[in-house]
């Protein structure tokens, strides 16, 4: 049986977390300062999408919320031409619900959900070993800003600033998330540095 908690984070935390939060601390740096490794092993530099909004989501293949991959693909299909970049970050941090290797994760996402948006290699998203992007975003949101379960979402604006944090239980195609994505898309594109 899979664990329902890990690293002191549990299902109760996920269920009681606010559905969405604005950053409360001025972040040091910018979302474009970070880089993941793609699931194919190639660099996945967020700076490559400077001037485009980013929706970055920690994911897991064996979670009750895994169907959100389909909703994320719908967002990608609907808003990619308007500039939105969706990035999945598989993680085994919650309930050990992403035990597979990168190749198996990619095959699952593409085969079951038809995922065509970028997928990072598997990363820790909480705790001392969390990927630097996740440490930055959690710090910007403030207390309780780290993901509490799989499919937590961070929206980064065209300028690289964190706009919003969305809990697991908020579907990617919910009215609230769509509203924030459309606001991010409407932001003026910042001048090149």
Identify whether 70 is part of a domain.
Answer: yes
Instruction: Establish if 191 belongs to a structural domain.
Output: no
Q: Which residues pair with 155 in a beta bridge?
A: 55, 164
Look up the pTM and report it: 0.90
Containing H/E element for 75?
helix 68-79
The beta strands (E) that lie in 30-171 are given as: 35-37, 43-45, 54-59, 85-90, 153-156, 162-166
Which CATH number belongs to the domain containing residue 139 in this structure? 3.40.30.10
Pick the catalytic residue from 14, 46, 63, 170: 63
Per-residue pLDDT of the chain (193 residues), as tens digits, is: 344 444 444 555 555 555 877 788 877 889 999 999 999 999 999 999 999 999 999 999 999 999 999 999 999 999 999 999 999 999 999 999 999 999 999 999 999 999 999 999 999 999 999 999 999 999 999 988 999 999 999 999 999 999 999 999 999 999 999 999 999 999 988 876 5
* Domain span holding position 71: 23-186
103, part of any domain: yes
Evaluate whether residue 12 is within a structural domain: no
Q: Is 13 within the bounds of a domain?
A: no
Is 120 inside any structural domain? Answer: yes
Active site residue 109: no
């Amino acid at each position: 049986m899979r664990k329902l908690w890990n690293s002191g984070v549990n299902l109760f935390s996920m269920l009681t977390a606010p559905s969405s939060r604005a950053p409360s601390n001025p972040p040091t740096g910018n979302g474009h300062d970070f880089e993941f490794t793609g699931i194919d092993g190639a660099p996945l530099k967020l700076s490559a999408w400077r001037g485009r909004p980013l929706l970055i989501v920690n994911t897991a293949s064996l979670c009750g919320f895994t169907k959100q991959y389909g909703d994320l693909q719908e967002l990608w299909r609907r808003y990619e031409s308007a500039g939105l970049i969706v990035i999945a970050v598989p993680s085994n941090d919650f309930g050990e619900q992403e035990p597979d290797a990168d190749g198996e994760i990619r095959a699952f996402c593409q085969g079951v959900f038809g995922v065509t948006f970028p997928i990072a290699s598997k990363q820790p998203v909480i705790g001392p070993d969390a990927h630097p992007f996740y440490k930055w975003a959690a710090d910007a949101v403030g207390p309780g800003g780290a993901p509490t379960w799989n499919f937590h979402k961070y929206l980064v604006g065209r300028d690289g600033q964190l706009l919003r944090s969305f809990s697991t239980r908020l579907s990617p195609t919910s009215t609230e998330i769509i509203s924030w994505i459309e606001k991010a898309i409407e932001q003026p594109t910042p001048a090149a540095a």
